[in-house]
Amino acid sequence: MAFDKFDGNVELYKGPNTNSISVITEGHRLFGKNPNATQFTADQANDCFKFMVTKAKEFGAYVDVFCPDLKDKLGKKQNRYTAEEILGFDMTEYTMSFQKGRFGVYLSINKPKSKGSNGMVL
């Protein structure tokens, strides 16, 4: 799946039906409606992730992030995780960024692309 980098502001939203915390952007109907909401810029993806996990633990909710390695490790069909699943995954080699996808903006957690034996991974 191809993503484009997102460089706007985001807030977090806890869906009532899904019981999950996800990223919303300026185009979302609820963005900016809560004066107490914390906004994050594109440079604050790591801070946003920490805040998401903290709030997921507080509310007993899931976290919606795009992390193919964690999804594969856990054998999940969706990119929705408990705080415990995320905290049990070693993310020291991963980078976080906001990406635009087919269904909106996601917090993406991936290993940085690096040189391999066959040249640059693209």
pLDDT in tens, 19-45: 999 999 988 899 999 988 999 999 999
Give the model's confidence band at 87: pLDDT under 50 very low, under 70 low, under 90 confident, else very high: very high
pTM of the model: 0.84
Residue ranges of domains in the chain: 4-116
Amino acid identity of 107?
L
Residues ≥6 apart with Cβ < 8 Å to 26: 8, 9, 32
Sign of the Cα pseudo-torsion (74, 75, 79, 82, in order)? negative
First to last CA, the chain: 13
* Whole-angstrom distance, CA of residue 90 vs CA of residue 70: 9
